Amino acid sequence: MENRIFTCLFLLAGTLALAQVGVNTPDPQATLDVVAKNATGTARTAEGLLVPRVDRQRAQSMTGVTTSTLVYVNNIATGTAAGTAVNINTTGYYYFDGNVWVKVNSGPISDNNIYNTNGSLIGNRIVTQGKNTLTFNSDAVNGFSVDGSTFSVDAANNRVGIGTASPDKKLDVRSASAGAVRIQDGTQGDGYVLTSTADGTGIWKQPRAQVIRGATTGGYDFPFAVISEYRYTGASITLPPGKWLVTISQLIYPQGANLTANDWMFVRSTFSEQNLTATGQVGVQSADVNNMPTLMSFQVSGPYTQGQLRLDVKTGSVYINNSSNGNKTYRYIAGGTAVGGNVAGAYLKGLGGGWAENSLVATAIN
């Protein structure tokens, strides 16, 4: 009998020294190793591990619970889902995480993620990409957006909208109030306008008037007579699309006959967009001359003696709106005269010609 007790003590001391306990095994592989008596076959004897079974009130009442403690809650009719039992809402296994009992999920694990489930962030998040790229591929009109129309990417048409979810240009910025766009690159300034370089780079610059000069060549010896139509003077100007105020300056040089104090001629001038090629050719006023002033008019009067160098310069403006998509050439025509007196052979020498005083200068207007 003493030998048996000694043997048991010896075996127990060896087990405690190894700090491992085996059930149904002489060779435990962990702190507690439970091996089924019948791991295979058709034996009917129940086998398994039974953990402590408590109701919710009991679990809720426990104090000083060690983290990782495992229980099986077999009744939730008692206690409440509050305090350490806040998660206990059904029977099942629960473990203690140091603060509350946490349910051991016994059902299928839900694969919820941003690819199949909507959700809300519960805090700030930072994505550190390093050298990795982050790409969104889409074929949708509003393929990526922020707060509806605040920012929208139309991946179907390769457009970006700010203030709209349906941009109709590469970059479409919309706002219900003024001052929606701000571009600050160091070149900006009060009253500056955004200009473009040859390669499309935008730069702020002080505004300057866009001025185009016409050609005053040839010239037409305009008769001192009643002329109902308009005749080409040889001068012209080519204008790009837009609204223009064309300032006309013409040297007036009477020739050919004497003029008395009662002799005078009133001359009207404007622009034609017909393809007039010879001075004196009849033309009609362009439909683009459609706002005041539409005529530059002046009067020539005597007395004047043949051979006398009596000169004058007449200046006025004509409005032209080139509403086309391309450049247009407008030819300077004069006519529609009214005459007082009857002077045969008199004329205005080289009207529209290359006198140093002659010019056609167009200034862009809003």
For 24-81, how does the pLDDT look when each residue is reduced to its tens digit (9 = 90+)?
Answer: 888 888 888 888 888 898 988 898 889 999 999 999 999 999 999 999 999 999 999 9
pLDDT category of residue 18 using cuts at 50, 70 and 90: low
Query: Can you tell me the distance from the alpha carbon of 25 to that of 114, in angstroms, rounded to the nearest whole number?
Result: 47
Query: Can you tell me the distance from the alpha carbon of 335 to that of 37, in angstroms, rounded to the nearest whole number?
Result: 124
Q: Given this model, what pLDDT does residue 280 score?
A: 94
With 0.95 as the threshold, say if the pTM is over it: no
Choice among 159-168, 189-198, 314-323, 349-358 with the minimum mean pLDDT = 189-198
- What pLDDT digit, counting tens, does each position of 118-167 carry? 888 888 999 999 999 999 999 999 999 999 999 999 999 999 999 999 99
Does position 310 have pLDDT exceeding 90, yes or no?
A: no
Q: Given this model, what pLDDT does residue 195 score?
A: 86
Does position 265 have pLDDT exceeding 80, yes or no?
A: yes
Query: Residues 277-287: what's their mean pLDDT?
Result: 96
Does position 12 have pLDDT exceeding 70, yes or no?
A: no
Question: Bridge partners of 255?
Answer: 347
Q: Given this model, what pLDDT does residue 306 score?
A: 84
Q: pLDDT higher for 11 or 349?
A: 349
Q: pLDDT higher for 192 or 126?
A: 126
CB 307 within 8 A of CB 253: no
